[in-house]
Structure 1
Amino acid sequence: MKKTRTLAISDIHGCAEQLKRLLDRCGFDANRDQLVLLGDYVDRGPRSRQAVALVRRLVKASGAIALQGNHDRRFVRVIQGKAHPEELRNFFEKGGAEAIGSYLGPNYKSKIVPERVAEYRARILSCCAEHIRFLDRLQYYYEDDGFIYVHAGLNPDIRNWRQQSVMDYLFIREAFYKHPVTAGKTVIFGHTKAIELHNKPDVWFGGDKIGIDGGCSYGYQLNALEIVDGAVSRVYVEPAVTESRQTAGRRSP
């Protein structure tokens, strides 16, 4: 069956339950829908392990396209023992402890600290090496007739954007979203939270680019961009917390 709808979601960051609810909200049907996930499945949120497991199932069973994000790359490099000292410091400063904790499980009593990273590597590789291989092999972009999907963006200074560096695909910010796209297609991206682009977590429509990171792991929301017949038709939103919890006591972001 030909797929008639594309759904793009980015920056899950361990928010596995929100992703499940968002897919339900969208009425996701693998037979008709092309799901494109724009990276950053780990760190910050409480369930990185569950998020990666869910993404793997979506790729294998539902034909989803999963791209790599900068947090995924850094997690892989830490667990493979390839991270240099600055990467390791950034990993623990930007939600890495939460990712490791989700893999070690609730019975792991010790505090997650950088000094014990070798122990964490061994434990994670002994139980979940397939997760690391999966994240390590993810592609950097996906392209269809009307859109380019990428985690962070495209470097406008590179004439042939497919030849840009891995660091551009995964880390670029202002140099991309503050300048015109030269790729001839609209770029759908995550990485930079929408609230930083227009002071709200809703999808940001920037003409030749669309930012969809709703900042779920920061307490905002997870966004899904729906595309039908080559045009954006709708946006679905899943709050970072359930309605009952929001009503009981809203937390400042």
Structure 2
Amino acid sequence: MSKRTFVISDIHGCHDEFNKLLKECGYNSKTDHLILLGDYVDRGFKSKEVVSQVMKLVYEDDAIALRGNHDQMFLDIFSDEPDDYLFLHNGGISTIESYCGLNWFEGYQGFDYMRYLQAKEFILKHYTNHIQFLRSLRCHYEDDNHIYVHAGLHPMYENWKEQPAEHFIWIRDIFLNNKTSVDKMVVFGHTPTVNLHNSAEVWFSEEKIGIDGGCVFGYKLNCLEIIEGSYNTHSVDSRLKRDD
């Protein structure tokens, strides 16, 4: 029996949908290969639970987990020169509340920066293993026929592995609007597929496959199934309400 590969991206704290999708796929850790393309945190309500589960999948099931730009933004608030603004304005408050409790800012008038600094200290003290895990994540993975990344590849690099790490997790338009320089299919997340073909379903082109269904925006959480060179797709609807 051929081994199936399942690829999921941009979970963004949507823990319930993630588990529902794994069940929908019939994922079996003993026989299947799971690849996760990053963005486990921010915007959704259960970032802590998602990271905990991803750690378990990697350590116990040999799943592959890549780093996304939101994971990097989370890590950056613990650096010597933290970029708190970028994190907080891209769904970071939900991540803080997931780790510290929904009532963390209760009783404070609006956003309280000192309370936020206390939250960072709390996370560093109680979830050092999560931070270390996210720091350990690679930015790309490949097999015989596919390259897996969070955001994409810069077409100007003949050796795609030489591109700066930021391109793997942040690139968008120059990757989407140009042919790649590789001879493998590039599987990526980062850009919601509703922005690629007005549908939350998996997007296919001749050399790229986009799988971010925009779950945290109220659309879908997608899974790409690869088996013997063919593709199947699975999805579950988001439990969150869309803005439109």
Q: CA deviation at 1:81?
A: 4.7
Q: CA deviation at 1:3?
A: 6.7
How many residues align? The count is: 241
1-structure distance, mates of 2:7, 2:52: 18
Which residue of structure 1 aligns with residue 100 of structure 2?
104
Which residue of structure 2 aligns with residue 187 of structure 1?
186
Which residue of structure 1 aligns with residue 42 of structure 2?
43
2-structure distance, mates of 1:124, 1:101: 11
Which residue of structure 2 aligns with residue 10 of structure 1?
9
Matches within 5 A, 1:1-253: 4-83=3-82, 87-110=83-106, 113=111, 115-116=113-114, 117-232=116-231, 234-241=232-239, 252-253=243-244
Counterpart of 1:60 in 2: which secondary structure? helix
- Among all aligned residue pairs of Structure 1 and Structure 2, give the percentage whose two residues are the same amino acid: 41
Letter in 1 for 2:92: G
Letter in 2 for 1:240: S
Which structure 2 segments of 5+ residues have no match? none
TM-score (normalizing by structure 1)? 0.91
The superposition leaves residues 52-94 of structure 1 with CA deviations (integer Å, 9 ceiling, x where unpaired) of 00100111111110000000011011134532xxx32121111
2-structure distance, mates of 1:109, 1:211: 37
TM-score (normalizing by structure 2)? 0.94
Which structure 1 segments of 5+ residues have no match? 243-249
Q: CA deviation at 1:251?
A: 5.0
Letter in 2 for 1:113: F
Q: CA deviation at 1:177?
A: 1.1
1-structure distance, mates of 2:96, 2:163: 31
The superposition leaves residues 73-118 of structure 1 with CA deviations (integer Å, 9 ceiling, x where unpaired) of 11011134532xxx32121111000000000013424368372332
Letter in 2 for 1:120: A
CA contact (8 A) 1:189 1:211 kept: yes
